[in-house]
């Protein structure tokens, strides 16, 4: 045991935040703290770090804060570098002052040993050597440079003044200092925010093998699964400990909830049975003792609370675009993006109903691409164009979170300011779809969390009913329930989506294609398009690393000129086969008009049969998704969802072929008549 908190209460201004909290950090545990936004996760971290105190510390309750000896706690607090003119290297080197002190003392002892053979000097020298090893004192420079570069900096950046970096970069520097400090207990609040995928993956490995304790708050489900071996959930001001990572916690929680529901129902039945008996015999003299006994039985029952289930039907409204776009939504050809200089050259094609995820290292231009497309910054070269009937809506999470509001303005007022013609019922309905229900609509804007601001911004943007959503990190600041709901909404959305994200779980659930920014594709302007799911993309990357992919312009990826894409591919996951119309009208094979008519009719019958089979499959997949036994089996749910998405896309392809075939059949029949 490193730290134990017992029966702690925390409240602010009469509002209870945490109640009867029992929390423990043991040995080298990697602990995840999960819960809805505003439940008190960050408050618990502050309690652990002694930034706040228990509200009941002076009461007679058995409460307290215990530590096993001296425990150094590292917590990334608000960033405030006192000297902005100091170089980054000198700022980071403050971490190593204990090492430098050891070095100075070792030099002194080395001088003393030249003129003396005092055994006490040798003993002290050996002790300091051991301390140096424990502090990683012989590798501090390599450690600093390695971690610094892992966070996307170049070694030359070490010589730059700290004040020359952006706020986000300064946050990274503070994070690097925390990692290099190597505290006994490391407290991390949303550590993956603003980190790119390679850095997140490296951080996972670093924390997993860290030889001390880590307590982290994160909404990144894949990160939690990779790092955590213990999960604490805060719900309704209380906390509960679960063994295992996030997926294990969700499975156990669902099992506990089902059991509690069953036990509650059985107890209620028993209470009703006893109550009915009492009511029936309460006026019968011979039953007085038995009646009293049953009343006592009810009174002495340990009451089982009715289980609470959060309403997970967030974003329940289905957003149908005002108009449909044509097939080609965005076509970019050698588009040069950047500010003062070109960051990347981008070529890609986005088609109707695709959900294209933009991923890759920071600083390559992912958000810059979105800003270029929506006209916030000019293109530096090349070209792009939107297709016909494209109406886009743009979401920028940074603007959503940092926007200044009238402190006295409510959520309701803020929405009505944007949409003054909405009736009150329409306003409440729109906000309710984004979890602002009941009294939540009267919440002051200054009281909103980052996740709540994101939800409100998305809600307002979607009221225009665009057919193209351009989203920059939409899940940042969102809690897990919000992410789950947003995934569902985007998968049901009938338009097209282009989004930047570092949330791998979110990408795997939503994306139908990947646009990768990296340093590995200089021939393609550092950007490569993969027309496949995220799981397939990862497999493709492994094949590329192994040298098994020779032609980058294969059917699975797009890196060259995409102005004339193929109309349709016969190769698909659901097995659509048979001749296309080009095959039907191949004069070398089908030269007789009567035979063409016959083949068109047969092909139409075949498509009708294929459509019926496909509809049966989608219905089956939807039933599987509703299976309560799979509620927490995320890998399986992901697999089923991917199959459902593929089958729905297959249906669209079949319908397009059917329509094309019907039109040709009608035309030929008219010509023959």
Predicted confidence (pLDDT) per residue in 280-297, tens digit: 998 898 888 899 999 999
pLDDT (0 to 100) of residue 389? 95
Long-range contacts of 413-422 (CB under 8 A, 24+ apart): 414/445, 414/456, 415/456, 415/459, 415/460, 418/460, 418/463, 419/460, 419/463
Kindly tell me if the per-residue pLDDT of 561 is higher than 50.
Answer: no
pLDDT (0 to 100) of residue 310? 58
pLDDT (0 to 100) of residue 631? 56
Tell me the pLDDT tens digit for each residue of 16-47.
999 999 999 999 999 999 998 778 999 999 99
Kindly tell me if the per-residue pLDDT of 639 is higher than 80.
Answer: no
Percentage of the chain exceeding pLDDT 90: 55
pLDDT (0 to 100) of residue 525? 61
Comparing 79 with 401, the larger pLDDT belongs to: 401
Kindly tell me if the per-residue pLDDT of 555 is higher than 60.
Answer: no
Comparing 362 with 114, the larger pLDDT belongs to: 114
Q: How far apart, in whole angstroms, are the C-alpha atoms of residue 80 and residue 93?
A: 17
| Averaged pLDDT for residues 642-666 | 81
Assign 573 to helix, strand or coil.
coil
Tell me the pLDDT tens digit for each residue of 225-251.
999 999 999 998 999 999 999 999 999
pLDDT (0 to 100) of residue 419? 94
Q: How far apart, in whole angstroms, are the C-alpha atoms of residue 636 and residue 642?
A: 10
* Residues facing residue 557 across a β-bridge: 530
pLDDT (0 to 100) of residue 634? 58
Q: How far apart, in whole angstroms, are the C-alpha atoms of residue 673 and residue 669?
A: 6
Long-range contacts of 520-525 (CB under 8 A, 24+ apart): 521/559, 524/345, 524/347, 524/552, 524/559, 524/560, 525/334, 525/344, 525/345, 525/346, 525/347
Q: How far apart, in whole angstroms, are the C-alpha atoms of residue 260 and residue 263?
A: 5
| Averaged pLDDT for residues 266-284 | 93
Assign 152 to helix, strand or coil.
coil
In 3-state terms the chain splits into helix, strand, coil percentages (rounded to 5) of 50, 20, 35
Q: What is the DSSP letter of 87?
A: B
Assign 162 to helix, strand or coil.
helix
Kindly tell me if the per-residue pLDDT of 144 is higher than 80.
Answer: yes
Comparing 373 with 446, the larger pLDDT belongs to: 373
Cα–Cα distances (Å) from 275 to 66, 289, 302, 483, in that order, read 47, 15, 16, 45
Q: What is the DSSP letter of 166?
A: -
The answer to whether 37 and 434 are in contact (CB under 8 A) is no
The answer to whether 211 and 18 are in contact (CB under 8 A) is no
pLDDT (0 to 100) of residue 628? 63
pLDDT (0 to 100) of residue 88? 96
pLDDT (0 to 100) of residue 590? 39
Tell me the pLDDT tens digit for each residue of 391-421.
999 999 888 888 888 878 999 999 999 999 9
pLDDT category, 480, cuts 50, 70, 90? confident
| Averaged pLDDT for residues 418-427 | 91
* Residues facing residue 15 across a β-bridge: 12
| Averaged pLDDT for residues 471-482 | 87
Kindly tell me if the per-residue pLDDT of 134 is higher than 70.
Answer: yes
pLDDT (0 to 100) of residue 564? 38
| Averaged pLDDT for residues 261-289 | 92
Phi (first) and psi of residue 193, to 5 degrees: -60, 130
């Amino acid at each position: 045991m490193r730290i134990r908190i017992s029966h702690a209460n925390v409240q602010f201004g009469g509002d209870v935040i945490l109640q009867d909290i029992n929390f423990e950090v043991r040995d080298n545990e990697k602990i995840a703290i999960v819960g809805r936004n505003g439940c008190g996760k960050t408050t618990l971290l502050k309690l652990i770090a002694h930034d706040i105190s228990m509200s009941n510390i002076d009461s007679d309750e058995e409460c307290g804060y215990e530590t096993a000896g001296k425990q150094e706690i590292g917590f990334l607090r608000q960033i405030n570098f006192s000297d902005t003119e100091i170089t980054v290297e000198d700022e980071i080197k403050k971490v190593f002052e204990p090492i430098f002190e050891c070095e100075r003392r070792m030099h002194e002892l080395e001088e003393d040993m030249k003129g003396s053979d005092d055994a006490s000097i040798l003993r002290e020298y050996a002790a300091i050597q051991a301390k140096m090893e424990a502090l990683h004192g012989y590798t501090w420079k390599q450690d600093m440079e390695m971690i610094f570069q892992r966070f996307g900096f170049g070694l030359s950046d070490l010589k730059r003044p700290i004040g020359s970096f952006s706020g986000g970069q300064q946050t990274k520097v503070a994070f690097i200092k925390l990692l290099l400090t190597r505290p006994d207990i490391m407290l991390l609040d949303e550590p993956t925010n603003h980190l790119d995928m390679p850095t997140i993956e490296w951080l996972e490995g670093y924390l997993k093998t860290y030889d001390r304790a880590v307590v982290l708050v994160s909404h990144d489900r894949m990160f939690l699964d990779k790092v955590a071996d213990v999960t604490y959930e805060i719900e309704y001001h209380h906390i509960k400990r679960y063994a295992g990572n996030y997926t294990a916690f969700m499975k156990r929680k669902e099992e506990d909830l089902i059991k509690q529901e069953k036990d509650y129902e059985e107890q209620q039945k028993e209470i009703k049975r006893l109550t009915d008996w009492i009511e029936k015999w309460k006026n019968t003299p011979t039953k007085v003792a038995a009646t009293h006994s049953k009343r006592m039985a009810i009174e002495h029952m340990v009451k089982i609370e009715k289980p609470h289930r959060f309403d997970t039907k967030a974003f329940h409204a289905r957003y149908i675009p005002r108009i449909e776009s044509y097939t080609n939504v965005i076509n970019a050809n050698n588009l040069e993006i950047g500010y003062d200089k070109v960051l990347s050259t981008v070529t890609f094609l986005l088609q109707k109903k695709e959900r294209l995820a933009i991923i890759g290292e920071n600083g390559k231009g992912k958000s810059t691409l979105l800003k270029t497309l929506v006209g916030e910054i000019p293109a530096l070269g090349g070209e792009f164009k939107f297709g016909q009937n494209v109406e886009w809506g743009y979401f920028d999470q940074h603007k959503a979170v940092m926007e200044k509001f009238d402190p006295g303005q409510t959520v309701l007022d803020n929405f009505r300011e944007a949409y003054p013609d909405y009736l009150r019922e329409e306003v409440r309905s729109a906000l309710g779809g984004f979890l602002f229900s009941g009294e939540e609509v009267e919440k002051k804007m200054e009281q909103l969390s980052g996740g709540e601001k994101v939800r409100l911004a998305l809600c307002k943007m979607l009221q225009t009913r665009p057919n193209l959503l351009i989203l920059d990190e939409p899940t940042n600041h969102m809690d897990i329930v919000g992410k789950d709901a947003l995934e569902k909404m985007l998968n049901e959305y009938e338009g097209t989506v282009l989004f930047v994200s570092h949330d791998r779980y979110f990408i795997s659930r939503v994306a139908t294609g990947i646009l990768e920014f990296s340093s590995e594709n200089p021939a393609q302007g550092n950007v490569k398009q993969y027309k496949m799911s995220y799981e397939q993309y990862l497999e493709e990357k492994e094949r590329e690393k192994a040298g098994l992919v020779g032609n980058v312009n294969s059917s699975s990826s797009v890196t060259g000129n995409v102005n004339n894409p193929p109309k349709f591919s016969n190769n698909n996951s659901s097995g659509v086969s048979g001749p296309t119309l080009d095959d039907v009208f191949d004069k070398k094979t089908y030269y007789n008009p009567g035979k063409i008519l016959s083949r068109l009719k047969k092909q139409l019958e075949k498509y009708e049969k294929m459509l019926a089979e496909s509809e049966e499959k989608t219905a089956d997949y939807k039933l599987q998704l509703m299976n309560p036994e799979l509620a927490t089996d995320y890998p399986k749910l992901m697999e089923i969802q991917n199959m459902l998405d593929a089958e729905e896309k297959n249906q669209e392809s079949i319908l397009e072929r059917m329509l094309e075939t019907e039109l040709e059949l009608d035309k030929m029949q008219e010509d023959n008549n």
